[in-house]
Every structure is written in structure tokens, then in C-alpha cells.
Amino acid sequence: MKRNFELIPTNGIKINTLIEGDGKPVIFVHGWPESWYSWRHQINPFKKAGYKVIIPDIRGYGRSEKPKNVNSYSLKEITNDLIGILDHLKEEEAHIIGHDWGAPISWYTSLLFPKRILSVSGLSVPFTPFNDIPPIKLLEQIYKNTFFYILYFQKIGFPEKELEKDIEKSLRLIYCNSDAFGMKKMVDLALKNNLNEKDKKSLFLEGMNEPKDLPSWLSNKDLKYFTKEFEKSGMFGPLNRYRCMDLDWKDLFKMSFDKIKKPLFVVQGANDPRVNIDESDQIVEALRTKGIDVPYMVKYDEGHGFAKEVNRIELYKAMIGFFAKNLK
């Protein structure tokens, strides 16, 4: 099926954006390492439900422009990109849904532009106020002698070289080891071989389980599409999101739970290898204590994304119901 894309001028750059459907806009924000294509299964259901679907390739990804300055990938810049897209489309307000890095982007778009966002749905990454210590410094204290991927990604050029050596293999390993099934295999392998935590000098892909087959949610066609996207874009722009974490802290430190005023829907896979379920539990508990109604969906057989069709269908229905309830 041919999709409708527009290269939209916004915030000083051009962002490749899928735009389909009529009605109240819903912005879908992808994570790392993904693209607009990550939301391919949501397009038609939301169009049929009466929404305008807006899915950008975040700056640095796919066919969107790729600034050369690392600091150009801060949350403030990316949130301004999204608001600029709404301005270009002459839309005053929209719902926003984010997965992985797309979730923090969605949280802060709502916090920085509260009059433009109707509701926020965060998948896999809950809103977490910044600590008193800059995040990279804090991670360096926690992971003094062991490998941690965010610290590894701070080295400009080195992770790009590793991941771009064989893009298809890199993506296959990342995707297949990030869902609940892949994570279980990694844990089982580590226990079987009595493996310790990775050494600080390890590579990102080192120790990942090589899948014999792709999971049910990822076809060879899908993997080929993602591969072509990253062969065009490279990994520099996408990895810069991690390199702006201290800049985000400087820009947004004062943001807190008290700023959350919009309807909120939290979705969590209990086996997520990147985001511990405790983080989602904490934000939901904190907000419910304040008397804020927060729908919370947890699937104990999922990881950093919902792989099982029955769970995905339940999630889509819940999201559309959430919008219908909060659409004014």
C-alpha cells in the first residue's frame, strides 16, 4: 500500500512525516533504533476510528534531515519539531503516543506545550523526573566497572562503527533480544554458562543471542525495510539522542510530577530488558496518590514492545478507548 508522506519544514529543518486520515490528530513517536515504520500496524485502525495519523521520522532518522551538531538532538529541539509539524498542518492540538525514546519525547512535548497536547500515551518508558545529579554522571557512578549501553553510546564514532559494520545483523540482534522471548533466552544463556556482567570494555552487541528465526512480529520484509532506512541515515543522528541526556537535564531539570495535568496512559511489558517495571509502578502510584486517574496496562509475557497479537489488539482497543474518553 502506498503511504502519504510530506517533507515538512519545521524548527529550521525538514522532517519526513506520514499523514493519513481525518479527524483529531494523533502523533506517533518512534524510539531507537526504529522509524515511522514501527507504527505501520496502527495506521489503519486509527484512521478507521476517525483520527488523523501523524508519524514523523524523528530528526536524524530515515528521510528526515540530520543535523551535524550533537546538541541538535535534545528533547527541546525534537519537541519543537513536533509542534512545528502541527503548526504546518494548521492543527491546534493533538494526542501523542510514544514508544522507547518516543515516550520521553511525548512526555516533554506535553509538559513544554500543554495547550497543544490533549493526552499522552507512553509505551515502555515512564515519565521520570530528573535526579539532582546529571544522568551521565549518575550512570558513571552506578556502572563504574561494568558495561552499560548508554555510557557506551557516549563515545562518538565508536558505536556507529560497530553497528554500521553490518546494519541488518545489528538490527536483527537488537530487535530479537529486546522482546520478552529474546530477553528470556539471554537470561537462560547467562545462567547456563555462569556468565557475569559484561566488562566495561565490551561492545554493545557482544553477548547477544543470535536468533535462528525472526520473531512472529518481525518479518524478513520488515527487517529489510529497517535495514535500508539505517543504511541511508547511519547511526550518528539516532545515537545523539543518548548524547544529549545531560543537556536535557540542564534544560528540563525543573519539570516534575506536579507538571503532569493531561490524561495519562502507561503501558509496560514486565520483562522489558531496558525499563524496569518498578519505574512504571512508581509513577502510577505517585499520580494515583494525588488523585489522578491513570490507566495502567501491564503484560507479564511481554518485553520492550508487545509481540503477541492478542496483547497488541487489546492495547490498540485500550488506546482508542482512552482517546474516546478524553477527546473533548
Q: Which domain does 142 fall in, by range? A: 5-326
CATH number for the domain spanning 262: value is 3.40.50.1820
Q: Are 146 and 197 in contact (CB under 8 A)?
A: yes
The answer to whether the bond into 33 is cis (omega within 30° of 0) is yes
Give the separation between CA 170 and CA 30, rounded to whole angstroms. Answer: 18
**What confidence score (pLDDT) does residue 110 get?**
94
**What confidence score (pLDDT) does residue 325 get?**
83
**Nearest residue to 126 (alpha-carbon basis) of 102, 143, 151:** 102
**Nearest residue to 98 (alpha-carbon basis) of 74, 129, 122:** 122
**What confidence score (pLDDT) does residue 68 get?**
97
Q: Which amino acid is at 181?
A: F
Give the separation between CA 22 and CA 53, rounded to whole angstroms. Answer: 8
Give the separation between CA 178 and CA 213, rounded to whole angstroms. Answer: 15
Give the separation between CA 217 and CA 322, rounded to whole angstroms. Answer: 24
φ/ψ of 117, rounded to 5, equals: -115, 125
Which residues have C-beta within 8 Å of that of residue 139, sequence separation ≥ 6? Answer: 148, 150, 151
Which parts of the chain register pLDDT below 70?
A: 179-196, 256-261, 273-274, 327-328
**What confidence score (pLDDT) does residue 312 get?**
86
What is the count of structural domains for the chain? Answer: 1
φ/ψ of 55, rounded to 5, equals: -130, 105
Give the separation between CA 206 and CA 66, rounded to whole angstroms. Answer: 28
Q: pLDDT (tens digit, 9 = 90+) per residue, 170-209?
A: 999 999 888 655 455 555 554 455 445 788 889 999 988 8
Give the separation between CA 71 and CA 89, rounded to whole angstroms. Answer: 27
**What confidence score (pLDDT) does residue 125 get?**
85
112: left (phi over 0), alpha (psi -120 to 50) or beta: alpha
**What confidence score (pLDDT) does residue 191 get?**
47
* Full-model pTM: 0.80
**What confidence score (pLDDT) does residue 289 get?**
82
Query: Which residue is listed with cell 525472526?
Result: 214
Give the separation between CA 304 and CA 271, rounded to whole angstroms. Answer: 7
φ/ψ of 5, rounded to 5, equals: -115, 150
